[in-house]
Structure 1
């Protein structure tokens, strides 16, 4: 029986652990936190991410936990339109889903072949003629395959590709879900989804149906050192005077709802996301391989694409060539999406005054980013 160690229990790590276990591998899942937690925010899944979920056999029940996001246009802070709502070039709208819903599906998909170890922060990775191995300074975990899903500051990537680091794009982002019992009622005429740009700042919100309301705010600058209550006070000040429902959403948010995140990318991009090592090797997935700014909201979808492609590449044959093929397919795909993300960034995060936005540029970038047809391309 082949063995695998998966490092990180986020979306990519849980999906990878379950996919390998269902394929007959003996899997050890290592997580830094003391137990598996779903996260407090929500996420957007584009059609490519939904296709990846289907390829992994995890899309069952998605309709019941997700909400479609139709083209909602883009406003200025005073509420006037930069881009009127219209028809997008993307084949179908993305959906927004609370992390708890996907987390439950992924946990159910782990099965009994996965040994979950909490409270382990991987700090080292062995690259030699021996089988790959990772350790936390106390215990070493060896396997035929190590899947690095340990985030943008991946310790495994730093060992495998020393020159690739996570670099800030000069922005910080906050996400929050306001639960249904605290969610404000949207004013008459205000749609359930919206996006607003102004002065380099961006505010986006989505209805989660009966689960509440989800919002994302992006602001120029570094991560804030203040405690969450101080960060929330700053957000309310920075977005004061913006059109409804921005103020209402921030007023209904509590400090414990906030999740602060850096905005940036792994640069330079690793030469390959699959690294043979002895008779086995390493696979980088998700942000560990290719973290990028969230202008196209593709993070979760790309991580799921990674896992679906890895699952297909590992069917039969030696691990070394399979990992190289995985790396070849994914690097070419990620390079295309990163190019589209930079095009979107020029539109969505300008530092100066916005006078007009060409919606076709955004639609083309989004359509190109969602073009992934399946795990073989």
Structure 2
């Protein structure tokens, strides 16, 4: 019986755990290293489109991750007067579910544990080498057949391998929080919808995630001191979006986090027997709701491309094949997520015309939802 190849992964977030579960299910010995003292979700709610849901099904994490999830029927944009710009129906065959990030992380963690993945916490990774090593802040290191960095936008693995081509923060960021849901929050015309409202360069996104919770994202430029303030300036946001004052007034029971969006691009996704994925390799603004989905599908694809290997010398070629398979779609998704965010800075009346014309155009809609409608490697149609 041949010895299992060993992979070490930096980062116990959504992408890292999805990758770990997929690889362990395909015969790899996998250890995940997380710098925090426990695996915990960063953020509030998360969109999981059809492509991400297919990955969860392939990993055996779908039922747990989506228990009690909200499944919307429409994604709707509204202008500064509260009028509908575009209300796009979500096809039955192209699912979109929203869940708390903590529920998704727990489901992926349990998939990892069932597959035999080992998790080490309080382990701060500060770098990696092309020889499959992870380097730690305590001057220790671990040697494996493959090292993988899924360690976020400020990836130390990416930097140490010399793969970074671009890392920039956008002008825009968001306050994110959860509020308790209450009967009567949505009128008959709003029920079943994800609603994105625009007013000047501020946006307000309303996302039900369950019968008990609703996820809110309050988006504005990073130099909008009042808009980004914590505690949230409820009067400011209620003035901009008066229809939703009853939701805005409820902010405060759960933590509120501010974050500026990041974009990362790399010369390559691997060096020798080390690789990067997720935000470390291809961070994008969350405008298409695909950051987590692309990380999960690229992690599954990585495992598929490495499946069956018995000699570590074959790993670099497999990593190159994986990148060639996935990079074009990933960068397409990133490009359209950036483009979508640019309409924020158009005058209100111009933005309304642009959005209405764009989202009703079949070709543009096809580009925007191309990743969401994709069947990821390792899943079935």
Structure 2 residue aligned with 1:116: 119
Q: Which shows bigger deviation, 295-304 or 171-180?
A: 171-180
Equivalences for 1:73-152 in 2 at 5 Å?
73-83=76-86, 85-87=87-89, 92-111=94-113, 113-127=116-130, 130-152=131-153
**Shift in Å, 1:165:** 4.0
Alpha-carbon distance in structure 2 between the residues aligned to 1:76 and 1:284: 39
User: Take 1:376 and 1:114, find their aligned partners in 2: how far apart are those partners?
Assistant: 19
* 1:4–1:28 CA contact under 8 A, matched in 2: yes
Whether the aligned pair in 1 keeps the contact of 2:158 and 2:164 (CA below 8 Å) is no
1:337 is aligned to 333
Contact map agreement 2:169 2:260 (CA 8 A) in 1: yes
What's the TM-score, normalizing by structure 2? 0.86
Report the counterpart of residue 176 of structure 1 in structure 2. Answer: 177
User: 2:35: which partner in 1?
Assistant: 32
TM-score scaled by structure 1?
0.87
What SS does structure 1 have at the residue aligned with 2:123? coil
Which residue number corresponds to residue 250 of structure 1? 248
In structure 1, list runs of 5 or more residues that go unmatched.
none
Contact residue 226 and residue 233 of structure 2 kept, 8 A? no
Deviations 1:72-100 (A, max 9, x none): 421123312222x2435895241111122
Q: Tell me the distance in 2 between the aligned counterparts of 1:298 and 1:316.
A: 29
Q: Is the 8 A contact 2:222 2:260 kept in 1?
A: no
CA shift at 1:132, angstroms? 2.9
Using the TM superposition, give the Cα deviation of residue 209 of structure 1 relative to its aligned residue in structure 2, in angstroms. 2.6
CA distance in structure 2 between the partners assigned to 1:255 and 1:225 by the alignment: 20
Aligned length: 362
Conserved? CA contact 1:177–1:213, under 8 Å: yes
Paired position in structure 2 for 1:287: 279
| Aligned residue number for residue 327 of structure 1 | 323
User: Paired residue for 2:44, among 38, 41, 44?
Assistant: 41
Say whether 1:307 aligns with 2:299.
yes
Give the corresponding residue for 1:360. Answer: 360
Q: Distance in 1 between matches of 2:102 and 2:74?
A: 25
Name the CA shift for 1:35/1:223 in 2 (closer, same or farther; >3 Å): farther
User: Which segment is superposed worse, 214-223 or 44-53?
Assistant: 214-223
Give the 3-state SS of the residue equivalent to 1:210 in structure 2: coil
The runs of 5 or more residues in structure 2 that have no matched partner are none
Mapped partners of 1:243, 1:70: distance in 2: 24
Contact map agreement 2:174 2:260 (CA 8 A) in 1: yes
Q: Distance in 2 between matches of 1:89 and 1:222?
A: 38
| Separation in 2, partners of 1:239, 1:169 | 25
SS at match of 2:220: strand
1:290-336 CA-to-partner distances (Å, cap 9, x unmatched) read: 00111111111101111111111011232111111112122112122
Query: CA, structure 1 residues 172+20, in 2 after alignment: closer, same or farther (shift >3 Å)?
Result: same
Kept in 1, the 8 Å contact 2:132–2:274? The answer is no
Distance in 1, matches of 2:347 and 2:221, equals 12
Are residues 222 and 34 of structure 1, via their aligned partners in 2, closer, same or farther at CA, if it must alter by over 3 Å? farther
How far has the Cα of 1:365 moved from its partner?
A: 3.3
